[in-house]
Structure 1
Amino acid sequence: MVNKFINTTPQSGVCPGHMPARCEALGIFSIRTWDINFVASGPIEANHANPRQGLMFKVPSEWRSFEVVSSKGDRKTVEMRISGVGSRFNTTNPPGVQAWSSLPANWTHAPAPCQYTGMWAAAPTLRLWFWLVPEGAGACNLVTPFDVPTSSFSMLEYTYELRTPNPLDMDAGDYRGTITYRVGPYQDFDFGDLYLPNDDVLTFNFDLRVEHNLKVDLPPGGNRVELLPEGGWQAWLNRGRQPSRLFRDQTFVISTSGRFKMQLECSLAIGNTCGLRNGAGDQVPLQVGISLPFGLHDQGVQAVNKVPLRLDGVGTELFQPAFYVNNRSGKLHFEVETNDVKDMLEHPGSTYSGVVTVIWDSEV
C-alpha cells in the first residue's frame, strides 16, 4: 500500500556513524562529503550584529522540481528539498570547550528555525553537529560572545526529502535526471560571507528504476473449461427443462504492480469473439469476459466487472493498479447466450469445443 521508491543510496556520516537508532526514529538518513569544505576568510568578531559575519547556515529547504526521463522518452517530475545539515566545525583553542558551552543557543540545541537532532560532539578545537531544517526555514544563526580568530568547516553532510512519482503509474525502465545547487554566499548553500567554499556546485544525479511484476496463475486444470447450465444438467435430464445459457466462471490469481492490457485469440473466430464447433461443423459464438480484483481499474478508474474481451481489444486496452495487487482473485467468464444455446440443442449428442487464448500484456 506504500507506492514509493526505495532509496538505495549508501548512507554515510552522522546517521550510520553516530546515531543510527535516532535517525531511524526521525525517518532520516545522512550523506557526508569531504569534497566540499568551507574556510573562513577572516575572524568572527564577538557579538557581531550582522549574521552573515558569523556562524550562519542556510540550505535549499524549499521544494524544487526537476524531470527524470526514461530511455523511451517518458518524463516524470521529482521534487527535492534539503531537510538537514551538519558539518565539523574547526577552530583554535582558546576559546575551548567551556567557552563554546556558554553560547545562549549552545551547539547542543540548534538555533531556530533549525531543530536539534540529538547529535552533538565536542573537543577543544572542534564541534560535530547535525540539525534538521524545516521546509522554507531560511537561515539559522549563532552569535558568538567572543572572537574566533580562525575557523573552517572541513566537510558537508546533509539529508534530503524526495517526492517521487507513483511508480505504479510509470512504465518499466530507468529514469534519469539531475538537479544542481549553487554553493557560496547568497547561493543555495549559504554559510554567510566569511565561509567560502572550495567548490561552488553540488549536483545530484538520480536514477529511478522501475521493475514491474505481472503474474497470473490458474488452479490445476483451470485451462480446461466445461460449460454448464445454471445448476447443472439435472433440470433438463429430470424435467426436460432446456437450459437458457451455458457458462463457466473460471477463477485465477493475479499479482501486478504495473499497467497491462488484455487481448483475445481464438482457434475459431466468429465476429469479434471466439466460437465453438461440433464435429459436423456447426458453430456458435462464445462470449468471454473478465472481472479483476479490487485495486485494479480501467482507464476511467472504474471497477472491472464482467468486461467483454474482444478480438479487436476495444474496452480492455488499459488496466492499472491503484496499489500493488498481490495474489488477488479474479474471474474469466465464458458463456454461450440463450439464442445460441437453442441452436446447439438442434444437434443433440454432439460436443462443441474450441480453444480460447487470453493474454495479459504488460507492453501497453
Structure 2
Amino acid sequence: MSRDITAVFRPDPSSPNNNTFTNITPNSGYCQPIPANCNESGRRFSSFRLPIIFRSTAAIQAGHVDPRQGAMYQVPASWRAVQVANARTGETATLEIRWAGMGSQYNLYTSAVELVGGGVTPHVAHQRLWGGSEWINAPAPCRDGRLGHFNNTIYTFFWHTSAEGTCAKRASYQIPDLYFPFLDFGYELRTPDPLMMSSGQYTGSLTYTVGPGQDVDMGDVLLPNDSAITLHFNLDVDHTLKVDVPPGGNRVELAPQEGWQAWLNSGQKPTRLFRDQRFHISASSRFKMALECQAISGDTCAIFDAGTGHAVSVDVSVSLPNGITDPAGQPVSRRRLLRDGSGTELFQAGSFVDRGMGTLHFEVGRERLAEMLDNGGNRYTGNVTVIWDSEV
C-alpha cells in the first residue's frame, strides 16, 4: 500500500527567518482527533492509519519465552534518508523520516474476562492477560502514549518509539486468536533547507517492508495482509523573487557630481557621469544577475549619440541589501554586472529578505566622458536591461 506526504514552503514576511517546510498532509489515526497528542517535548509528529491487518496464525502460549512467539512490535525508529528530485531542473535534496510511534487495537475472539477465568472486570482482565501490565503501558524501549480504550474484547493503544528495538508483551494466559485490524503509523520529518532549493516540486519515495524480520515486524505469529508500505514524498517550493523600482526609476539620467553648472559657466570638465538608482527586492532563495543591452560595448552596455553615432560604455554595478550574499558569504557591494553574468552567477538569501533596499550604480568614467565632450555629441541614450533570474 502507499501514502502521499506533501510539504510546502512559501516565504512569510511575518516570519522571515523561517526556513522550514510545512507538512500539509491530513492526519488520520492517532493524531486526528487530538492533534496535541502528537506534540512530544516540543517535537511534532504526524500520523497515518494504514489498513494493514495483523492476524495470529497460531495460539499465543502462556508465558512464552521468545518474544517472536507472542505480541510484539519492531519499527524503524531511526532516521532514514530519502532523496527527492526536481523533475524540471534535476536538482536533488535529502529529507529524513523516522517512526515516532505506532498503535492499533487488539481484538480477542474470546473475551479477556473469560480468558483469565472470570470473576473480574474487563480492566483487570486485560491487565492479568499480559502479566499485570495493560497495553497503555508500553514495554521498553517503547514509551507510553496517551491512548488506552478498551472493552471486554478490544484494547486500543499507541506507543512512542524513540529508539530502535523490540517492544514485546508476554501473555500470562493462552490466547487462541489475536487480531489487529489497522496500523497507526506516527512519523516525524526532517526536511531540507528550502532556501537552498530552487522553486518547483521535488518528489521521491521510500518503501518499508512488512512481516517477520522486515522493517515493520510483529513477530512470527502475527502476520500481515500486506508486505510493503510505500511513501511518496512531494516537497513544493514556492520562492519569492520580486524587484520594485520607484516610479520613474526606469529612466536613468547620468550627471556630474555637482551637476552641469560648472561646465556651462566656466568650461570645467566633470570627472564622471553617474546615477545611483535604488530599488526594493524581496527574495527567499538563490538568483543570478546579468545585463541585456540595446548597444553593446564588449561585455557591457553602451550609450550613443544618434547624430554622430559615437558610443561609450557604461559601467553598471549592484549593491544588495543585508541578508543576501555571494557564494563566499560576502556582502554584495558595487558588484560589476556584465552581459555574460560572470561574477554574479549566484546570490543567496540567508533568510527571507522582504523589500530590502538595493542600489544599481551607473557610471561613465573620466576617459569616456572626455571622449563624449571632445566628440561634440549632444545627447547620448541607450537601453540597459538589468536581469534578476531565479533559474540558477
Query: Same fold by TM (over 0.5)?
Result: yes
In the alignment, which residue of structure 1 is the partner of 2:49?
32
Deviates more, 1:2-11 or 1:191-200: 2-11
CA distance in 1 between partners of 2:277 and 2:137 (Å): 64
- Whether the aligned pair in 1 keeps the contact of 2:44 and 2:188 (CA below 8 Å) is no
* 2:271 pairs with 1:256: no
Deviation at 1:252, TM superposition (A): 1.2
Deviation at 1:90, TM superposition (A): 1.1
CA distance in 2 between partners of 1:122 and 1:234 (Å): 93
TM-score normalised by length of structure 1: 0.88
For residues 52-95 of structure 1, the C-alpha deviation after alignment (integer angstroms, 9 at most, x for no partner) is 22221110112222333332443333332212111111123123
In the alignment, which residue of structure 2 is the partner of 1:20?
35
In the alignment, which residue of structure 2 is the partner of 1:78?
95
Deviation at 1:232, TM superposition (A): 4.7
Residue number among 48, 52, 56 corresponding to 2:72 in the alignment: 56
Distance change >3 Å, CA 239–CA 137, structure 1 → 2 = farther
Distance change >3 Å, CA 6–CA 347, structure 1 → 2 = same
TM-score normalised by length of structure 2: 0.83
Deviates more, 1:287-296 or 1:172-181: 172-181
Matched length: 361
Residue number among 212, 225, 233 corresponding to 1:206 in the alignment: 233
For residues 108-152 of structure 1, the C-alpha deviation after alignment (integer angstroms, 9 at most, x for no partner) is 332222122322222221111112211x42111222333333211
1:271-286 aligned at under 5 Å gives the runs 271-278=298-305, 280-281=307-308, 282-286=310-314
- Whether the aligned pair in 2 keeps the contact of 1:105 and 1:111 (CA below 8 Å) is no
For residues 145-170 of structure 1, the C-alpha deviation after alignment (integer angstroms, 9 at most, x for no partner) is 33333211110011222333333333
In the alignment, which residue of structure 2 is the partner of 1:11?
27
CA distance in 2 between partners of 1:241 and 1:140 (Å): 90
Residue number among 87, 97, 106 corresponding to 2:123 in the alignment: 97
Please tell me the root mean square deviation across aligned C-alpha atoms, in Å: 2.6
Distance change >3 Å, CA 348–CA 109, structure 1 → 2 = farther
- Whether the aligned pair in 2 keeps the contact of 1:291 and 1:306 (CA below 8 Å) is yes
For residues 290-332 of structure 1, the C-alpha deviation after alignment (integer angstroms, 9 at most, x for no partner) is 1222332333343222111112221122223333333222211
CA distance in 2 between partners of 1:291 and 1:140 (Å): 59
CA distance in 1 between partners of 2:357 and 2:135 (Å): 57
* 2:319 pairs with 1:303: no
- Whether the aligned pair in 1 keeps the contact of 2:45 and 2:189 (CA below 8 Å) is no
Residue number among 386, 389, 392 corresponding to 1:358 in the alignment: 386
For residues 191-221 of structure 1, the C-alpha deviation after alignment (integer angstroms, 9 at most, x for no partner) is 1222111111111122233333321111111
Distance change >3 Å, CA 231–CA 58, structure 1 → 2 = farther
In the alignment, which residue of structure 2 is the partner of 1:193?
220
CA distance in 1 between partners of 2:43 and 2:84 (Å): 28
SS at match of 1:2: coil
> What letter matches 1:214 in structure 2?
L
Deviation at 1:346, TM superposition (A): 4.1
Residue number among 147, 153, 175 corresponding to 1:125 in the alignment: 153
Distance change >3 Å, CA 343–CA 199, structure 1 → 2 = same
CA distance in 1 between partners of 2:133 and 2:366 (Å): 84
CA distance in 2 between partners of 1:247 and 1:240 (Å): 19
In the alignment, which residue of structure 1 is the partner of 2:13?
none
In the alignment, which residue of structure 2 is the partner of 1:43?
59
SS at match of 1:30: strand
Deviation at 1:180, TM superposition (A): 1.2
Deviation at 1:345, TM superposition (A): 4.3
> What letter matches 2:389 in structure 1?
D
In the alignment, which residue of structure 2 is the partner of 1:179?
206
CA distance in 2 between partners of 1:94 and 1:218 (Å): 75
Identity %: 46
- Whether the aligned pair in 1 keeps the contact of 2:305 and 2:377 (CA below 8 Å) is no
